[in-house]
Structure 1
Amino acid sequence: MIKGINIFFLFVAAPVIGFYFAFLQTNPVHSFEIEAAVLPIKETSTSVKTINDELSTTTKITISTKEEIDSILKKVKKEQELLETQEKQLNDLVAQSKEQTNKSDVVLEQILSNLLGEPIGVSDGANSTVKVYSLVEAGYRGYMAKVRVKSQDALKMLLAHDKVVSNGEITSSAAKRSNAILAVNAGGFWKTNGQIAPMGITVVDGKIKTFYENPALSFVGFNTQGHLVGGKITKPNQVKDRNILQGASFVPTLLQDGKKMSIPAKWANTRHPRTIVGNFSNGELLFIVIDGRREGWSKGITLEEIQDKLLSFKVKDAFNLDGGGSSAFYYNGKILNRPSDGRERPVTSNIVIMK
């Protein structure tokens, strides 16, 4: 009986005992744990390699970027050094130019002093410096002003009573109503219905007031820097292109770039009162009024004579403005010259200089 029970239990326990011995030989859990542990290690190795590759690539890029930045910095430094060199050269040129201008001014003053003596009047203001000289030569008398323009507001072209067509305005009136230190008559004019109007081209404060094409006339203008801009104007847009602020017209052109221009036959070798505008070699402006038609005082001057006189003053460009009875020279509150009519003549335009 007991033997039979043991055999029964043996059959029952056999599977358990077999499993036990199998477990002792190979632990499936242990095997699983090992495989499970090995897998992440392989993946981690792959990840580390990838990261190392990326770091290597990033390092190469960083080194390349640094080299590019260094190259750019070197270029910037060279450009900065070049800029500094150019700036120094420019400053040197400006200094040399100022020195030459100062020398030119001194030489010009010496020339005028030798030819004309000391100025009879000097006015120095925020807008301009004006020096007035008396001209006394064999056969004629007059006055000359040398003007250094300091601002855009120094010089104005005034129409008579600010109108294109009017009864005219004398030079002293235009000067006083604009509070000018210096004034001379300007462009020519023609009669229309009992009144007068400017000839040719007239510009006031950059605006074209008249534009009548006449090949015989010369335009006498002043730009935004107060420099003389004269010659031929054939199209309205040239006024804007040349930055002309003020201007009037008459004839003829006397000097251009220091050279005499031909005088029209009908104007040649005749003596009359004259009004002349020009610029010196240093850029300063020149205004001259010569009296005439007055025996015992002044007979007037020919245009050929005034050309020679202007060249002796080192004048570069010059133009003849309206003359005869229109010629008037106003300075510091009064008319200095003696107009040939015995009194000032009303004209259509005047050039006024502000102190």
Structure 2
Amino acid sequence: MAQIQSMQMIENKPFPPRKQRGWNWILYPFVFIFVVMATSAAWFYLTASGTAYRYMIADTLITSQHRDLAKYLIGQSELDKRVDDYLNRFNEMGQVKDNHAINLPNKSNKDVEVEAIEGKGYKGHILYVHNPKMIRVVTTSIVGQGEQILDMVKRTGAIAGVNGGAFDDPNWDGNGFKPAGIVMSGGKLLYKDVGMEDPVNVVGIDRNGVMVAGRYKPSELIKMGVNDAVTFQPKFIVNGKGLIKSESDGWGIAPRTSMAQLKDGTILFVVIDGRQPGYSVGATLYDVQKILLEKGAVTAANLDGGSSSVLVKDNQVINRPSSSYGMRYLPTSFLVFDHPERVHQSNIWEGIDMTHFNSSNKPF
């Protein structure tokens, strides 16, 4: 009987009221999220590793059409300073002089090869051109508008090609017709927006097949016998040594196109895909420098990158351009020909008032 009463008392005893448990169980996830966010913010802004990562993201934004967003990471004044610092550093790197020797025997090897490459966070390709004299700068053929690299290759009968130099792209809405700096093709200065005695960063090849990169006056380029050249920067390998000293100076993570030369005269074009999570995010210039130093490059310089980066061979796009709208329309390209001596490049800009085309204030 006592046992029955005891069981009844247990059965009739009310459960602890829910209010005794409080609302803590609901708050726990929010507290956890707050702690994680606070800890992440402290790491992001207050530690050396977090600050380095924050500036890496800012540099990545600086090279994209979302440059202004970088101010939310480092502030507007620091953003302006960072852009100026890069521009000044690139100019300094462009003034480092080459004194290496390129062995240019009779280049009967006309092989043009593509090698797939892969690294941490990126995928890309290297185009090898064993005879540097097979390379020419080709320009758009459309008055008032740039041209896609694939169309340039098909139109001219080229073996292969990559995107070329800088162009004015106000608000990243330009049509690719107006170059920035200079354009040389076949030994002729086709375009310049600077004076003949004003130095500008260039990437190109002289009449002997030797790569030329750095900061030169247009008058110097003509005297040096430069055959084909466009404007871009920086030059980052000189005399077989890298000028970019660390990942933090690698100008962010982005799609890349760069040009280099080996001691035997072979020209390498590196094209890295980017802005495609799950496939290839992109690479820093420090990454590209490491790739090219491992290949034995004695000279290397950066070309236009981002959504401009394109590699074409045998009338096919080899890489994966980052723009969802397809290949960009560009003013210049480096194309490879079986018979470069037959290539006659007209001056598409001759007689055109280029002030009609808005210029960009962005140096990159």
When normalised by structure 2's length, the TM-score is 0.58
Deviations 1:45-96 (Å, cap 9, x if unpaired)? xxxxxxxxxxxxxxxxxxxxxxxxxxxxxxxxxxxxxxxxxxxxxxxxxxxx
Query: SS at 2:260's partner residue?
Result: strand
Query: SS at 1:220's partner residue?
Result: strand
- In 2: Cα distance, 1:306 partner to 1:354 partner: 26
* Structure index of larger Rg: 1
Equivalences for 1:6-155 in 2 at 5 Å?
128-149=110-131, 152=133, 154-155=134-135
Corresponding position of 2:207 = 224
Select the residue among 148, 167, 181 that pairs with 1:170.
Answer: 148
Query: Do residues 156 (structure 1) and 136 (structure 2) align?
Result: yes
- In 2: Cα distance, 1:148 partner to 1:312 partner: 17
Corresponding position of 1:290 = 272
- In 2: Cα distance, 1:137 partner to 1:266 partner: 17
Q: Number of residues paired by the alignment? A: 230
Deviations 1:262-306 (Å, cap 9, x if unpaired)? 489997351000001010121110111000000111010001111
Query: Do residues 198 (structure 1) and 179 (structure 2) align?
Result: yes
- In 2: Cα distance, 1:325 partner to 1:347 partner: 11
Query: SS at 1:250's partner residue?
Result: coil
Q: Higher relative CO (CA 8 A, sep ≥ 6), structure 1 or 2?
A: 2
Query: Do residues 309 (structure 1) and 288 (structure 2) align?
Result: no
Query: SS at 1:146's partner residue?
Result: strand
C-alpha spacing 1:266/1:160, structure 2 compared with 1 (3 Å): farther
Q: Pairwise CA RMSD of aligned residues? A: 3.0
Corresponding position of 2:193 = 212
- In 2: Cα distance, 1:306 partner to 1:194 partner: 27
Query: Do residues 253 (structure 1) and 231 (structure 2) align?
Result: no
Query: Do residues 186 (structure 1) and 172 (structure 2) align?
Result: no
Are the equivalent residues in 1 in contact too, given 2:199–2:215 (CA < 8 A)? no
Q: 1:232 offset after TM fit, Å?
A: 1.4
Query: SS at 1:295's partner residue?
Result: coil
5+ residue gaps in structure 1? 1-96, 103-124
5+ residue gaps in structure 2? 1-100, 339-364
Query: SS at 2:178's partner residue?
Result: strand
Query: SS at 1:338's partner residue?
Result: coil
Identify, as 1 or 2, the structure richer in helix: 1
- In 2: Cα distance, 1:130 partner to 1:303 partner: 24
Identify, as 1 or 2, the structure richer in strand: 1
Corresponding position of 2:263 = 281
Are the equivalent residues in 2 in contact too, given 1:147–1:285 (CA < 8 A)? yes
- In 2: Cα distance, 1:207 partner to 1:339 partner: 31
- In 2: Cα distance, 1:267 partner to 1:212 partner: 29
Corresponding position of 1:350 = 333
Are the equivalent residues in 2 in contact too, given 1:144–1:288 (CA < 8 A)? yes
Query: SS at 2:150's partner residue?
Result: helix
When normalised by structure 1's length, the TM-score is 0.59
Are the equivalent residues in 2 in contact too, given 1:185–1:350 (CA < 8 A)? yes
The letter for the 2-side match of 1:258 is G
Are the equivalent residues in 2 in contact too, given 1:252–1:263 (CA < 8 A)? no
